[in-house]
Structure 1
Amino acid sequence: MSKKETTGQALTRSLVAHGVDTVFGIPGAHMYDFNDALYGARDKVRFIHTRHEQGAGYMAYGYAKSTGLIGAYTVVPGPGVLNSGAALCTAYGANAPVLCITGNIMSHLIGQGRGQLHELPDQLATMRGITKTAERINHPSEAGPVMAEVVGKMLSGRQGPGAVEAPWDVFGQSGPEVDLPLGTRAPHPAVNADQITAAAALISGAENPMIMVGGGAVDAGADIATLAKLLQSPVTSHRSGKGIVPDDHPNYLNFVAAYEYWKKTDVLIGIGSRLELQFMRWKWLPKDLKIIRIDIDPTEMVRLKPGVGIVADAKAGTQALIDALAGFRREDRTGEFADLNKDARSRFSEVQPQLAYLDAIRQALPRDGFLVEEVSQMGFTARFAFPVYGARQYVTCGYQDNLGFGFNTALGAKVANPDKAVVSISGDGGFMFGVQELATAVQHKINVVAIVFNNSAYGNVLRDQKQAYQGRYLGSDLTNPDFVALAKSFGIRAFKVASPGELKDTIEKALSLEEPVLIEVPVEKGSETSPWPFIHPAPHAE
C-alpha cells in the first residue's frame, strides 16, 4: 500500500526540494494543516513567526533580495494576503523571487459571496495583479505540479514574486505520496549575433560611451567591469545596480559624477536596467544619443525602444559584446573618472548631516556587510553617497519607495546571511511601520543593527510642504516614543548617539555584541539638506 500525505505535506516537501530552508509567517485557521506539515519538516525548514503579515512578506523579500534565492512566507487568506501585499508589490518592482503561500475559504464556497472568514471576492485575481504568477491547488494531486509551475515562472527570465493558494479543506486532504516535479528556469534567450554586431559597430564609433547597470545585471559584474575597461567607459548605477561594479573600481562613476559625463555621452549601454535614472530623473538626452540595451525581458525593448536591443541574460549578452570587440583599444581614461568622482563628492558634501552619518556607517560596516536602506533623508542620500563594494549588498525597495520596508527587510537579509553584518537605516516614520518586529528579532535571535534617524517628521513631506505649500503642514509632524526605552522594553540593547564619530564607535560595538541592537540618532526637525538636487538635477543647458 502506497504511503499517503496531505496537500500541506506535499507542498512542504516541494518547498524543500526547491531549496527553501526558511519560511516566515503567522499561523492561522485556514493554514493549520500546512502549518502542521511545516512542524513535521522542522529539521529541514526553519519557521520564523512574525508580528505582522507585512513583516513576514518583507523578511522573505530581504532573504530573496540579498541571496537571489526564493524567499518564502505564509499568511492567512484575505486580510493576511492584503497586509503582506506591499511586500509583494516591492518584490514585483524589484524583481525578487518571493513566494507567498496562503489559503482560501472552503472550496465549494469560493465565489459564492457568503461572507466566509477571510473571504475576498477574487483572491487569486488580486494576487495575480501584484505577482508574476499565482495559482490555486484544487486537489492533493496538484500540489507538486502547481508548485513546480509557479517556481519555474518566478525564476525564469525577469524574476519576480509568485503565490500559491489552496482552499481550507484541501490542505488537509490526503493522497498518495508521489515523486514531485521540480520547477526549472526556462533557457535564457539565445544571443542574436546580428544585434551584437550592430551594437559593436555603434560602440566602435562612439567617443564617450556610458554603461548603466541595474538589478538585472546582478550576476554579471565581472563581465561588465571587463567591458568597461575594454571601452574605457564609465559604469554607473542608481539603486538596484549598486555594488555590481564596486564603487572603488577605476571605471565606476557615482551617479552624481555620471551626470556630468552624461552631457557628452554619445552611446548609452543599458544592462539589466530600466534606464530610470537617465529617462525619469535626469530627464534630458544628449544630442544624437544612441541607445543599446541588454535585457532578458523582451517587453523592455517595447517599453523603451533602443537603437539596438539585445534580448539576453546580462552575463551572456555582455560577454558576447566583449568577444565582438576583441582587439578594441582605447587610451586609459580612469584618471578622468577619478576627477569626476572627486568633484561630485566635493559638491554633494553639502548634504548634511546625512553625509557625515553615512560615512560613519561605511567606516564601521565591513566591506562585505549589507546596508538596507529606507525611504528617508538618509536613504535617499545613500543612493549616491554610500559606497557599495559587492552585488546584493545594498538592499533597496526599488521604484515602490515605500515606507516601512527597511527594518523588516533587514531581518530577512540577516536570516539569509547569518555570518555577515546587516545594518538598516530608517527614519522615525518608516521605522514605526514595523516596530513590532523588534519582538521577532529578539525571539529568533536575528542580530540586525537598526539605526533610527529621528527627526520627528515625515521629513520629505515636511520639506515639500514648507517649500511648495508655504508651510501649510498636514500630517508631516510626528510625536514619537522614546526609541531607546521602547527597544529596551522588547529586550533589545539600545543606544542614543549624537555625532557621526559616536555612531561609528557604537556600530562597531553593536556588531561585536552579536545580538539585535537599536541605535537612535536624534536629528533636528527639518535640518537636513535636501538630497534631491543631486538625484533630479537641473536640465543641462546646451
Structure 2
Amino acid sequence: MSWKYASRSRSRPLGSAGFLCPVAPVRGPQGQGDEGCVLGMADVVTGELAEAGEAVLHGVAVAVDGLGRVRYRAVPCQVDAHGAQQPVLLGVGDVRSVESAEHVVFAIAGSGRPGPVVLGLPEDMLTDTVQVPDATPLPVPAGAVSAAERDRLAALLGAAERPLLLLGGSRWTGRARADVREWAEAWSLPVTVDFRCQDLVVNDSESYIGALGYGRADAVAERVRVADLLICVGTAPGDVCTDGFTLLPTDGTGPRLVQALPAPQPPAPLYPADLALLAVPEAFGVAVRGLHPDAAVPWGPRTEQDRAAHLEFRTPVPDDDPLNLGAVFAHLDARLPHDTVVTFGAGNHAVWAQRFLTYRDGWRQLAPRNGSMGYGIPAAAVAAAIAEPGRQVVSVAGDGCFLMNGQELATAVAEGAAPLVLVLNNSTYGTIRQHQEQSYPGRVSGTGLVNPDFAALARAFGAHGETVTTFDAFPAALERSLASGTAALIELKVTDGLLAPGVTVDSLREEHQHV
C-alpha cells in the first residue's frame, strides 16, 4: 500500500490487514498498513510475524490507542502497545508529535535488517490538524564485501571438500538471484534454501538440491550434516532449517561458517561465523560473480548426485487416493506461466506446494515463516493479485487455513482481482492431527472439521467455484477456473486420513506400533 494513499485495498477488518504486507517482495519495499484500534493491531502483528524470522517485512502499521494522551483511565481499547508488541517487532512507538513521527518510524523500519514497526496513535489526536510533507522511501544501507573478504572466501572454498550454500532472508533482488546463481553454478556448489525461500534460486538450476525445513527431503538434511563449509547468504542457521538445531553441532565442531547478513549478528550467536560479511544479497552477489575456480572442483559429482536425489523426491508417486495431490500439483506446475506468484499459509497443505512446484525465474513464493494460519488467502486475494493484476496468483490453502480468512474472497471480487485458490480439504487440522498421532496415537482431540461446501461458498462471494474429487477431473476444472476472469476456487476433496505426501493417519499408527 502507498504511504501517499494513491490507492487502497480494503481487507475485511480486522483480521487480515497485516497479511497485505507481503506484497513487498513482489513489488518493492516500504509500505504502510493501518488498523482501527490497538486491539485490532494484534491481528496486524500476527500478519507481520507470519513473515518474521530472517525474511522480515519492511513497513509501518498505525494503531489508534483508545487511551489518548491521558493515561490510567478506564476506556475501551486501552492496551499498552509498546509493552505488548515490542518484544516481537523491530520497533513500537507512541505518537506525541505527528510532524516528526513519520520520518522516524520509517528510518527505524529500514535500519539494519529491515522489519515492521507499530506506531501508536492516541485517539484524541485523530482530529488534530498538522502540516506533514509526503514521505519518500528512505535508502537502506547495503553493505559491501571487501577485496580481502572476497579473497578469504575464495581461500575457504579452495580448502573445502563438502561445501554447501544456504540462501534465505530478505533484501533479495533479481540481480542478486542471478549473480549468486551464476557464482554457485561456476563452482558446482550445491544450493539449498531456508524454509519457504524457494524462489531465491531458480529451481531448474543444476546446483539446486532442494529446500530445508518442514517437509524437506532426508538427502538435503544429510548434506547439512556432512558439510565442512556452510556459506549462508541473507540468513543464519536457525531453528526450522536445522531441524531444531540438530543438523549442526553447537559445540564448535561444526563446519566452517561464512555469513553474509544485512545486519550484525546478536552477541554470542549459537553458530559464530568464521567469516562474517556485512552485506545484503545483492552486494554479496556483485562481489562473488567474478570468482571462478582454477580447476574442476572435487565436490562436483556429489552435487550431481544431490541434484538427482532432489528430482526423484519431487516426482509424484502413485497413492491410494483417487485425487493424488502430487499428480495434481505436477499438472499445475506444467500449466502455470513464468511469472506466477504462489501463496500459502501454515499447515501440512503447504508441503505439496513446496515439494511439487518448480519455482522458476520470475516466480515468487509468499508464505509465513513464523506461523500463521489464514495467511495465504489475504496475501493472494488482497495483496499480490491486486498489486500485480497481470500475473497469475495461486493460493494453496488447507480447509482449516482457508476458514481463518477465506472471507477475503469478497475483497478480491470487489477489487476485480482474479487469484486462483486451491483448498485441500481433508476435514482435519492436518498438522495438529499429525502431532497427535505421532505422540498420542488414537487420542484425537479437537482436530476434526465440519466444513461448508467450499465451491458454493466461493460462488456466494461472486467467485468461480469448482469441486474436484479425482485427478482426471482436475485439468478441465483448472482450465475453467483460469478462464473465468474472476477470483476462482477449486476444492480438492481428499481422503480424510491424508495428512501429507505419503503420510496418513493409518501409516502413523502403524509406525507407532513398531516403535
More displaced 10-residue stretch of structure 1: 233-242 or 513-522: 233-242
Q: Work out the CA distance in 2 between the residues paired with 1:394 and 1:147.
A: 30
Aligned to 2:119, what secondary structure does the other structure show?
Answer: strand
Could you tell me which residue of structure 1 aligns to residue 509 of structure 2? none
Structure-2 change in CA distance of 1:390 and 1:127 (3 Å): farther
Which of 82, 85, 92 is the equivalent residue of 1:124? 82
Structure-2 change in CA distance of 1:73 and 1:270 (3 Å): same
**Deviation string for 1:196-228 (max 9, x for gaps)?**
333221111112321110033622111111221
Is 1:319 matched up with 2:280? no
Structure-2 change in CA distance of 1:495 and 1:532 (3 Å): closer
**Deviation string for 1:228-250 (max 9, x for gaps)?**
12322111113343122200012
Structure-2 change in CA distance of 1:282 and 1:173 (3 Å): closer
Could you tell me which residue of structure 1 aligns to residue 195 of structure 2? 239
Is 1:520 matched up with 2:483? no
Could you tell me which residue of structure 2 aligns to residue 483 of structure 1? 454
Is 1:67 matched up with 2:21? no
How far 1:479 moved relative to its partner?
Answer: 0.7
Q: Work out the CA distance in 1 between the residues paired with 2:89 and 2:362.
A: 24
Aligned to 1:184, what secondary structure does the other structure show?
Answer: coil
**Deviation string for 1:48-94 (max 9, x for gaps)?**
22223221111x22322433323432211232112333112224333
Is 1:104 matched up with 2:61? no
Q: Work out the CA distance in 1 between the residues paired with 2:233 and 2:156.
A: 16
TM-score norm. by structure 2 comes to 0.85
Which of 56, 80, 83 is the equivalent residue of 2:17? 56
Is 1:297 matched up with 2:253? no
CA contact (8 A) 1:77 1:118 kept: yes
Could you tell me which residue of structure 2 aligns to residue 173 of structure 1? 128
Could you tell me which residue of structure 2 aligns to residue 151 of structure 1? 106
Q: Work out the CA distance in 2 between the residues paired with 1:248 and 1:334.
A: 17
Which of 236, 239, 242 is the equivalent residue of 1:274? 236
Structure-2 change in CA distance of 1:288 and 1:128 (3 Å): closer
Could you tell me which residue of structure 2 aligns to residue 76 of structure 1? 36
More displaced 10-residue stretch of structure 1: 193-202 or 467-476: 193-202
More displaced 10-residue stretch of structure 1: 474-483 or 310-319: 310-319
TM-score norm. by structure 1 comes to 0.81
Q: Work out the CA distance in 2 between the residues paired with 1:329 and 1:319.
A: 22
Structure-2 change in CA distance of 1:179 and 1:488 (3 Å): closer
How far 1:407 moved relative to its partner?
Answer: 0.8
Which of 368, 377, 382 is the equivalent residue of 1:407? 377
Aligned to 2:432, what secondary structure does the other structure show?
Answer: helix
CA contact (8 A) 2:69 2:124 kept: no
Q: What percent of counterpart residues are identical?
A: 23
Q: Work out the CA distance in 1 between the residues paired with 2:304 and 2:393.
A: 29
Letter in 2 for 1:50: S
Structure-2 change in CA distance of 1:513 and 1:180 (3 Å): closer
Letter in 2 for 1:274: A
More displaced 10-residue stretch of structure 1: 151-160 or 384-393: 384-393
CA contact (8 A) 2:163 2:230 kept: yes
CA contact (8 A) 2:24 2:31 kept: yes
Structure-2 change in CA distance of 1:240 and 1:154 (3 Å): farther
Mark the runs of 5 or more structure 2 residues left unpaired by the alignment.
Answer: 212-216, 505-515
Q: Work out the CA distance in 2 between the residues paired with 1:180 and 1:444.
A: 26
Q: Work out the CA distance in 1 between the residues paired with 2:391 and 2:300.
A: 32
CA contact (8 A) 1:91 1:98 kept: no
Q: Work out the CA distance in 1 between the residues paired with 2:356 and 2:482.
A: 22
Letter in 1 for 2:6: V
Q: Work out the CA distance in 1 between the residues paired with 2:113 and 2:363.
A: 16
Aligned to 1:107, what secondary structure does the other structure show?
Answer: coil
Q: Work out the CA distance in 2 between the residues paired with 1:354 and 1:166.
A: 47
Could you tell me which residue of structure 2 aligns to residue 330 of structure 1? 296
Q: Work out the CA distance in 1 between the residues paired with 2:136 and 2:500.
A: 52
Q: Work out the CA distance in 2 between the residues paired with 1:497 and 1:381.
A: 17
Letter in 2 for 1:242: Q
Is 1:283 matched up with 2:249? no
CA contact (8 A) 2:95 2:120 kept: yes
CA contact (8 A) 1:456 1:478 kept: yes
Structure-2 change in CA distance of 1:163 and 1:108 (3 Å): closer
Could you tell me which residue of structure 1 aligns to residue 275 of structure 2? 308
Letter in 2 for 1:452: V
How far 1:478 moved relative to its partner?
Answer: 0.7
**Deviation string for 1:353-408 (max 9, x for gaps)?**
3422221221222121011022233302433332101366111101x132111111
Letter in 1 for 2:378: N
Q: Work out the CA distance in 2 between the residues paired with 1:532 and 1:260.
A: 21
Could you tell me which residue of structure 1 aligns to residue 74 of structure 2? 115
Q: Work out the CA distance in 1 between the residues paired with 2:101 and 2:422.
A: 41
Mark the runs of 5 or more structure 1 residues left unpaired by the alignment.
Answer: 1-19, 23-40, 534-542
The number of residue pairs the alignment matches comes to: 484
**Within-5 A mapping of 1:343-362:** 343-347=309-313, 349-350=316-317, 353-362=324-333
Aligned to 1:487, what secondary structure does the other structure show?
Answer: helix
In proportion to residue count, which structure has more helix? Answer: 1
CA contact (8 A) 1:67 1:392 kept: no
Is 1:223 matched up with 2:179? yes
Letter in 2 for 1:340: D
